[in-house]
Amino acid sequence: MSPIAAGGPALFLGDDTPCVALVRPELDVNDPGLRLAAEQAGVTPEEFAGESGVWQVMADRTDGEGRTFELPELTDDEAAVFADELLYALAGAGDAELELADGIIVLSVTRAGDDRVSLSARVVPPAGSEEPGSPTGPLDVELGTLAVAEVREHVVEFHRSVA
């Protein structure tokens, strides 16, 4: 599992590709690179940074199909509850299904031995959230079989960043 450099909280599930990520980018308008890019674009750094602090979902499969969209209504508290539920599922002995934002992400956690879990997700963009011409509809992503300790470590780090 590799973290996403988003400058804000990021929960990355998967092993590179395929993956599902929940991120809240925080862009620093004082960052020299951002300021230079804004200048080159002919806009202010604030305009260039755009909407910072809005939760985003990114999902990608190995066949190249993916989804990326914003969840402006999602709160840090809801993201923290999702992390809590995932930690509880990782600590349990059985399988679990977790839901974020009324089914935008449905994560299935299946036991694959004492120290491994198989993760899969269904990602459903909210109506009207995707760019014109981009794929629409649900995307099923098999995230693979991962070490429980590794997933737990990443989820705990994410939980701390939103708590």
Q: 19-32, pLDDT tens digit by residue?
A: 999 999 887 778 88
Residue 5 within a domain = no
- Which domain covers residue 65, as residue numbers? 10-162
- The whole-angstrom separation of Cα 101 and Cα 126 is 10
Residue 111 within a domain = yes
How sure is the predictor about 148, in pLDDT bands with cuts at 50, 70 and 90? very high
Task: State residue 133's pLDDT score.
Answer: 63
Q: Which DSSP helix (H) or strand (E) runs through 46?
A: helix 45-49
Residue 87 within a domain = yes
Residue 64 within a domain = yes
Residue 1 within a domain = no
Task: State residue 47's pLDDT score.
Answer: 73
Which residue did the predictor score with more confidence, 133 or 65?
Answer: 65
Task: State residue 7's pLDDT score.
Answer: 73
- The whole-angstrom separation of Cα 155 and Cα 13 is 9
Residue 91 within a domain = yes
Number of domains comprising the chain: 1
Q: 2 is written with which tokens? A: 């590799």
Residue 150 within a domain = yes
- The whole-angstrom separation of Cα 154 and Cα 72 is 23
Task: State residue 135's pLDDT score.
Answer: 72
